[in-house]
Structure 1
């Protein structure tokens, strides 16, 4: 059983939801269905679509404020992963000893479905979508949730899936305690969101490893044995699940690796061995080989047929805003990688294309260390166009590495500049390494504006 025993949290009484986005509204509906007295509170303005959903369900809510008297009387609280621990209200709730959990933790109590949980600093969305695509192609009754798609809680309340593929962020994991993944996938760990972890890498690593908590000998842990931080941390954890490494550097007897013919090999005890040439994968690039390895290992755990896996890996189309091909104009390739909100994602993006690259970089800097990009930028990037309000750190990091580094006034302006700098055979790449909310609502809007500007050329 994947679910957690119902004794950990109150099963009736007052349920308060902090944050009325996709996960919060889903948790509210599940709570209502389970007989809780539900109240939703959001310090920001709740989107009209979510307000309507709450009204239709007859769930009480407040928008643009937190009324503490209506929150501190909760029996259990589900909090949005975006609310940091240092928020004054969260400190008060901790002091009051009220259980404060994530939507995933709350919803897991109410399902016996098999839970496949995918985390990592980079590649989560692609691997989650590819895994879901593969399992769906195989005819499984499978849901997609977590950081992606419809809320897990809403699907537990109103749908009936046998398996869920969940994209799980470190922020979600921080509020998960008794939850158990049948299959845990840890793709990689590189510095990200360190502002939420007291700028200590170890705290962030510990958060990622929460994906394996409560696993038993009947479960599976898929991880990258080429990833330095993951391998360094492994000895600190008591891992009970079957460990399935993936590597492009070695040959492993159990797990996933590349052979001398450039075939992706997947070998799990009591399963048919899988082999596929990496040139046949629909997602190309070294980072995508890891994503396919992870999804392939999940598929093998689920006992999918090799033919189904091959068809899926050969036909999958990537998600929007992640190395998304936008257009080919005047011999120039335009690529939207707006989802690259950290330095390591940009490293993967640069690694995926040949020189010469015109790179659109910048936004809200989360304490980025640009050192790891210097060599690749030197080798592959002919110009950097800075987007966002504060560009000083990008100038400091790269002015010695590229001949051209300029600021832009808007996304339209950035794309216009890029189109003049790029020659036939070049790539214009939006891969910002930063959060988007100085100029945009989110990375999706940033990516859409980029696509609009490209199509207007």
Structure 2
């Protein structure tokens, strides 16, 4: 009996353990932190062995394979010891992919992943496809493989998950963009992050599709290094040579994988970045042979995703928008670019090697005030002090919302678009966004 050790007992880890047990593995789960009660209950219900708050080497380094949580870096001490012993390290997606014949639509990129993934899933569901939603969103892919048999998976895949994928194949791969993010994970070297993103096309075959943004700084240059066999479909902001999808003069146009047109005004998601996401989603749906009318309806009635330019409400004439998913500078750029009123911008959190120069022109053009929200806002204060824009320094959501209330004028927009990860003050970006919404809505009562 092969032995599989799972490092990290979160959504992906517990799902992997359940699938591995079903497939006949001897399974052990180890987490250096505290395992949440609901995951303990699942492990216990399946009679799976687990430990928390420490790693027992003799129970881990005897594994035939290890599946690690994507949040665990490759230089973690136990991972390094396993690599030294020659034990293969896999991602949940790699492991789960062995045990399903489902076709895979895989979406990655620095920004827009969740929106595009959710939109594609919405369209496929609308078309009546048997489809699972997984990866960085939804339920564990491994658990779904263990308990259901969808014919398709739509997967949002991060660079962390791509690092440990080897034989997995994306039938339809979507790469939205590559902009600086998670550089602290890659020794502050952009090439390491780029290499991880490009793994999305690994193992593609001539019957597959690769959909990408043609104007990206890195993708086409990197493609020259690969023997990419799939059909190439590109999208851009305007019609130009080599582009198969664009939005120009109010028209939304695709010429591949099939001809498709509608007006930009019909799209449920507005703003330049969302038009790009919609182009990518429509191309993926066409590649999956979804009927054109269903795609049109899906693009028209999609309701968006929480924490991505989510309208919270208007209080005392001030509009509040929750964009907590904007955990890098490029995402904040898109959010600011979409604003049409003066902005009180909330930024801050766990810095990942950010360069704020990209948003500086938009900050100067659109922001009435900046409210920093983080455990340590020194880098932000040092960078933005020279702008002359009013600044508030806060270290809790309560103080942050109060500062925004004091700084915003009637008709302004308070935009939570932090540029940073949430882990300094919050468990995750969802907790940050939900706390923001709760405090704003409580003010409205």
TM over 0.5: yes
1:267: how far off? 1.6
Which position in structure 2 is the counterpart of 1:446? 432
Q: In the alignment, is residue 217 of structure 1 matched against residue 230 of structure 2?
A: no
Aligned ranges 1:147-186 → 2 under 5 Å: 147-186=136-175
Which position in structure 2 is the counterpart of 1:311? 297
CA distance, structure 1, for counterparts of residue 251 and residue 378 of structure 2: 44
Match of 2:413 among 398, 402, 427: 427
Aligned ranges 1:32-51 → 2 under 5 Å: 32-51=21-40
CA distance, structure 2, for counterparts of residue 24 and residue 446 of structure 1: 24
Aligned ranges 1:101-180 → 2 under 5 Å: 101-180=90-169
- Is the partner of 2:299 in helix, strand or coil? helix
Q: In the alignment, is residue 276 of structure 1 matched against residue 262 of structure 2?
A: yes
CA distance, structure 2, for counterparts of residue 279 and residue 161 of structure 1: 34
Which position in structure 1 is the counterpart of 2:333? 347
Deviation track 1:142-197 (CA, whole Å, cap 9, x = no partner) reads 10000000000001110110000000000000000111110010000000011111
CA distance, structure 2, for counterparts of residue 108 and residue 31 of structure 1: 12
1:252: how far off? 5.0
- Is the partner of 1:199 in helix, strand or coil? coil
CA distance, structure 1, for counterparts of residue 267 and residue 406 of structure 2: 34
Which position in structure 2 is the counterpart of 1:27? 16
Aligned ranges 1:232-381 → 2 under 5 Å: 232-251=221-240, 255-259=244-248, 261-268=249-256, 271=258, 273-381=259-367
1:255: how far off? 2.3
1:116: how far off? 0.5
- Is the partner of 2:150 in helix, strand or coil? coil
Deviation track 1:77-130 (CA, whole Å, cap 9, x = no partner) reads 111111111111111100101111000000000111100110000000000000
CA contact (8 A) 2:236 2:243 kept: no
**TM-score normalised by structure 1 residue count:** 0.95
Aligned ranges 1:53-92 → 2 under 5 Å: 53-92=42-81
**TM-score normalised by structure 2 residue count:** 0.98
Cα distance, 1:404–1:254 mapped onto 2, change above 3 Å: closer
CA contact (8 A) 2:324 2:433 kept: yes
Identify which range, 226-235 or 380-389, moves more after superposition: 226-235
Runs of 4+ in 1 over 6 A off after TM superposition: none
CA contact (8 A) 1:381 1:402 kept: no
Q: CA RMSD in A?
A: 1.2
The runs of 5 or more residues in structure 1 that have no matched partner are 1-11
Aligned ranges 1:379-418 → 2 under 5 Å: 379-418=365-404
1:402: how far off? 4.3
1:233: how far off? 2.0
Cα distance, 1:402–1:314 mapped onto 2, change above 3 Å: farther
The runs of 5 or more residues in structure 2 that have no matched partner are none
CA distance, structure 2, for counterparts of residue 309 and residue 51 of structure 1: 41
Which position in structure 2 is the counterpart of 1:6? none
Provide the aligned length of Structure 1 versus Structure 2.
Answer: 443
